[in-house]
Structure formats: C-alpha cells, structure tokens
Amino acid sequence: VKKIVPLLAILTAIVVTPLWAAPRSKNPHLKFDAKGNVLRPEGYRKWIFVGAPVTPNDMNGGKAAFPEVHHVYIDPYSFSIYERTGEFPQGTMLVKELTSIGTKKATSGAGYFSGEFQGLELAVKDAEHFANEPGSWAYFSFGTKPPYANEAKAHPTASCNGCHTVADQDYVFTQYYPVLRAAKK
Amino acid sequence: VKKIVPLLAILTAIVVTPLWAAPRSKNPHLKFDAKGNVLRPEGYRKWIFVGAPVTPNDMNGGKAAFPEVHHVYIDPYSFSIYERTGEFPQGTMLVKELTSIGTKKATSGAGYFSGEFQGLELAVKDAEHFANEPGSWAYFSFGTKPPYANEAKAHPTASCNGCHTVADQDYVFTQYYPVLRAAKK
C-alpha cells in the first residue's frame, strides 16, 4: 500500500489537475520576454479559426493595409471562456496571418484564392501589461515573411486602436466573424 | 489494497489508453448511419482550418457555385497523420462551411467580409465505403442554413469530382491552402 498510494495520488493528480489548475485570468499561450515584448505565439494554426476577411491589393489601389487574405484565429483557452461567458477574457490572443492572392480564377468560380503566407499580426487583451490601452488591447506585428520574428513590441496605441473602435464587441470585429457570433449563443 | 488496485488500474487505463487506442486507419470523426449516409460532423469549427477561398456572387454573375466565403477545415485526426506522412489518410474529412458576404467595405479596406453561415459541405476519403469514387473521395451537402441536416448521401461522382481532378494533391486543392503546404514540409 505504501508504494501504491503515492502512485495513485500522482495518477489522480494527472487526471484531475487540468480541470481546476487553470491560472487565474491567465492564458497559457501568452508569453512575454524580460523586456515585456510578446513572444510569437506557437501552434496558432491549430487554434480556433474565427474568420477570413480578404482585402485584395487590386481592390485597394495596389496597396492594401493588410494584404490580402486574413486568417484570423483565437487561442483555444480564451475561446472556451468566450463560449461560456460571451466575453473576451484577460489574456485573449487573436492572431491574424496574412496570405497573398495566388489566383483569381479556379474551377469553383472567380474570386480570391490564397497564395503564400506574408504576415503575422497579433492582438492581446491584458490589463496587467496594457492597462493604458483602450480595452487593454495591444497590437503586434511579427513581420511579413516566415519564419517570423521571435518577439514583438506593441504598436503605438493610435496606429491600431483608431480602427478597432468601430468593432462590434470589445474592439473585436465580431460583425465579420460568424464563428464567434455562433459560439456566443 | 484490494480496493486501491482496481481503482489504480482504472486510472492508469484512463491515462494510458488514448496513446495507443486509435482505431486502425479509422477516423473517429467519421460516422455513418445504417443506410450508409454520412452523419453531419460534430465540432468542425474547432478542427484545423486550412484556407478560405472566396467566390463572391458579384464576381460570378450573381450565382456563385459556392456562395461565397469558404471556411475549409480538416479533421484533427487526419491532419496529424498528414503532418507526419504528407498524405491524406483513409477517413480524411474536409469540411467547407459557406458564409454570405456581409460587407465589402471596412476600416481595413475594400474587400469581402463574411456575413452569415449559409452552407455545409463535406468531402470524405474512404476506400471502404467509396471504393468506386476517384481517389475514394465522396462529396456531401448538409444544406444551406443552420441547423444543417443530420446526415447526407454522397453526390453523384460527376457532380464534384470533375472539378477536383485539377486539384494539386489527391483531389484536394492544396494550391489554395498554404496551411496544408506548410504542414507537409
């Protein structure tokens, strides 16, 4: 029994711990370096996809602000809270990975079809680190070509938040993200 | 000890089983009813997003074949095999959920932005059930408005596979899916 009970305790801990060990208002995907830069998120292509606006260069005078297809994801930790509460919790991360337009004509019709990756952007809601930002949201760019930068510094408030003020929910453009609207119901 | 040992066995089974209990060449997400219809996939909005072509009605004479934004996902079981082998395994499921265009103008620029869900389509590769289809791929529609149908019957071969023959890999349009190309590397 002496040997079995500690083993039992360990196994029980492995099974049970994940249910209540989530850090208080903390997202395990959100990491900072010693200078307060945000580390490039890992594994985001396996996160929850929320929507894909496209702003093609050819519809924006050759210079789209975000060229061109936007793959937008939310981290799964924050998504599970959003499903339950309908709010974006502290630590929420929204990734926007950009692709070029590969072609405008395919067998399924005329339109816009992705080519190659060309940018990684991130929005983070975190009152602990970004208390002075509207809604505590800060915005980051990790470059325009994979492999992206390992860390990024927050953009000045005005450069991003000016646009996000017209977003439907808490600076997030849920009006373009049916996946989030459906998750909230 | 008599009481602890069976409990220990159960806990060990819970911890260890998922590591090697995956069914042989079988996708746990793929389910059929007694008539051989495919059941509507569950939880696909949490699957691996692979790409989002858009074929807007206004670029297709008012009647796009697949209106309008396409959210394309692969099931996570098959994706993990694809990452390892670079091939789509038996049982692979690719979901295409369609949305309307909600607007063509946003603060990020002119383009196409999703509105509401309006269709659920599925491709399944399964030599056991669809041996006579090219590449063993069969195609399904679950309707154009949520809640979608609970099950669907395969479309006639010609109605879908005629287009998919020009896809880059095994009837899948990997040329438009940078996520799959990157996962393969």
Judge: B178–A59 Cβ closer than 8 Å, yes or no: no
Which among A102, A110, A177 has the least Cβ separation from residue B176?
Answer: A102
Distance of alpha carbon A93 from its chain centroid, rounded?
4
| pLDDT score of B158 | 86
B51 contact residues in A (CB cutoff 8 A): 71, 114
Which among B46, B54, B163 has the least Cβ separation from residue A48?
Answer: B46
pLDDT tens for each residue of A116-170: 999 999 999 999 999 999 999 999 999 999 999 999 999 998 888 888 999 999 9
A48 contact residues in B (CB cutoff 8 A): 45-46
CA distance B81 to chain A (A): 14
- The least confident of A94-98, A129-133, B139-143 is A129-133
Asked whether the predicted pLDDT for residue A110 surpasses 70, the reply is yes
Question: Taking CB atoms and an 8 Å cut-off, how many pairs form between chains A and B?
Answer: 151
Asked whether the predicted pLDDT for residue B52 surpasses 50, the reply is yes
Q: Which of residues 48-107 of B touch A (CB under 8 A)?
A: 48-49, 51-56, 59-60, 64-66, 69-71, 73, 76, 99, 102-103, 106-107
The pLDDT mean for chain A works out to 90
Q: What is the pTM of this model?
A: 0.86
Mean pLDDT of all residues in A99-117: 97
Judge: A103–B15 Cβ closer than 8 Å, yes or no: no
Give the other-Cβ count within 10 Å of A134's Cβ.
15
B5 contact residues in A (CB cutoff 8 A): 4
Strand ranges of the sheet holding B48-51, from the earlier edge strand across to the other edge: B48-51, B69-74, B93-106, B109-125, B137-141
Mean pLDDT of all residues in B95-118: 98
pLDDT tens for each residue of B30-47: 999 999 999 999 999 999
B123 touches chain A (CB under 8 A): no
Between CA A34 and CA A58 the distance in angstroms is: 41
Cβ distance B65 to B57 under 8 Å? no
| pLDDT score of B67 | 98
Q: Could you tell me the pLDDT band of residue A63, with boundaries at 50, 70 and 90?
A: very high
Between CA A32 and CA A160 the distance in angstroms is: 20
Judge: B117–A56 Cβ closer than 8 Å, yes or no: no
Give the other-Cβ count within 10 Å of A18's Cβ.
9
Asked whether the predicted pLDDT for residue B11 surpasses 70, the reply is no
Structure tokens at A128: 């602990």
Q: Please list the alpha-helical segments (H only) found in chain A.
A: 4-20, 76-85, 157-164, 178-184
| pLDDT score of A97 | 98
| pLDDT score of A22 | 32
φ, ψ of residue A4 to 5 degrees: the values are -75, -40
Asked whether the predicted pLDDT for residue A21 surpasses 90, the reply is no
Judge: B102–A175 Cβ closer than 8 Å, yes or no: yes
Judge: B4–A4 Cβ closer than 8 Å, yes or no: yes
How deeply is A132 buried, as exposed, middle or buried, from its count of CB atoms within 10 A (0-12, 13-18, 19+)? exposed
The pLDDT mean for chain B works out to 90
A125 touches chain B (CB under 8 A): no
A14 touches chain B (CB under 8 A): yes
Q: What percent of chain B has pLDDT over 90?
A: 81
Judge: A173–B49 Cβ closer than 8 Å, yes or no: no
A36 touches chain B (CB under 8 A): no
- Residues in chain B, overall count: 185
A13 touches chain B (CB under 8 A): no
Structure tokens at B71: 């959210």
Question: Who has greater pLDDT, B26 or A35?
Answer: A35
Judge: B49–A54 Cβ closer than 8 Å, yes or no: no
* Interface test mutation site (partner A, options B14, B46, B104, B116, max chain A beta carbons within 10 A): B46
Asked whether the predicted pLDDT for residue B15 surpasses 70, the reply is no
| pLDDT score of B159 | 87
Between CA A60 and CA A10 the distance in angstroms is: 58
Structure tokens at B109: 């620029």
Which among A48, A108, A166 has the least Cβ separation from residue B55?
Answer: A108
Question: Who has greater pLDDT, A11 or A104?
Answer: A104
| pLDDT score of B18 | 47
